[in-house]
Structure 1
């Protein structure tokens, strides 16, 4: 749900940011400021959370580099966008989350993960562009409607150079610092 469109100059800049940062939402809801619009999402359904858990469990168990993760970390991206990925992974040794503000810069983030819900087009296009512009090395997109998993890699301006898509059930090779094949069989 879009709370406020900011297409006129009066709603841009500081006023829009102040409105966004001052939002009071019911428990479980999250708000993002993307391309001048405030988007509010309800709590995710159980299938969404199950898929998130399965990705986290595999990364924790199999990653070559020990990873810290968050499902609530706000990222301040290129162009002032405020986004909360479903999962944000950082190398544990970086201690990047420690002392970080509510909205942290993405420097040092190893991978973000999005699991589609009501608006898959935003995850597939807008967020992919913003993550690439911000230099996040890996973007993993689980599309529940298509039953596919896509790994975007090598950010290059407005898009990633690398794209690897499989149907749920097929493995996805995650490069360093993860260096293991993510098993998607249990995503079915």
Structure 2
């Protein structure tokens, strides 16, 4: 017997709620993954510094691409979910003319950096890999500041990534194609909690 997962709200209702939250509650960023509503924690200074480092790294090695922070993406099966990754790597003009929730088709990589919020961390480690794989995003980069590890998910197949590589901060690792960038993760040691 197959369980049917029913959402308590539609995608349209979520988008309306997210717009209202943006207007009335400063710093609240909502996501809707696998029919579940989640609030994303606001980034701290170390989180912001990690994103700066990644943006600079991609600009040096892949100048035709840009790591866009906080771009909302339509994710999940049938694109009914809404995620706001910490960064989405795509061609510089990939999101031009799109609204708050963009087509994920041109995205080569999404990145999430863990926060102090347990719910956000759980989504980053369990729910988002499934949603991003199901969407067909080639690479998901998770920077886990609690375990001091970088996890690279690649080769999406259905709702899972076929390859998962975890290395400690300080290791040098190559992000697989189509990203094809080598990351020396040594600087991450300075930006942990």
Please indicate, yes or no, whether the TM-score normalized by the shorter chain is above 0.5: yes
Deviations 1:149-187 (A, max 9, x none): 011100001110011111000012012343231110000
In structure 2, the residue matched to 1:3 is none
Cα shift at 1:60: 1.0
Say yes or no: does 1:152 pair with 2:153: yes
2:9 aligned with 1:12 = yes
Q: Answer whether contact 2:171 2:185 (CA < 8 A) is retained.
A: yes
TM normalised by structure 2 equals 0.83
Deviations 1:27-86, CA, capped at 9 Å, x for gaps: 3331112233322234211111111111111111123x6212211210011241110000
Other-structure match for 1:41: 40
Aligned residues: 178
CA contact (8 A) 1:110 1:136 kept: yes
Misfit runs of 4+, over 6 Å: none
Q: Are 1:84 and 2:84 matched, yes or no? A: yes
Q: Structure 1 pair 42/122, CA: closer, same or farther in 2 (3 Å)?
A: closer
CA contact (8 A) 1:68 1:91 kept: yes
The answer to which of 167-176 and 17-26 deviates more is 17-26
* Matched position secondary structure for 2:70: coil
- Unaligned residue ranges in structure 2 (runs of 5+): none
Distance of aligned partners of 1:44 and 1:25 in 2 relative to their CA distance in 1, 3 Å threshold = farther
Q: CA deviation at 1:98?
A: 1.1
Secondary structure of the 1:22 match is helix
Asked if structure 1 preserves the Cα contact closer than 8 Å seen for 2:58 and 2:67, the reply is no
Q: Give 1:124 deviation, angstroms.
A: 0.9
TM-score normalised per structure 1: 0.85
Contact 1:154 1:161 in 2 (8 A): yes
Q: Secondary structure at the match of 1:68?
A: strand
Gaps of 5+ in 1: 1-6
Q: SS of the residue aligned with 2:94?
A: coil
Indicate the SS of the match to 2:151: strand
* Distance in 2 (alpha carbons) for counterparts of 1:101 and 1:51: 26
2:65 corresponds in structure 1 to 67
> How many Å separate the matches in 2 of 1:122 and 1:167?
21
Larger mean CA deviation between 40-49 and 133-142 belongs to 40-49
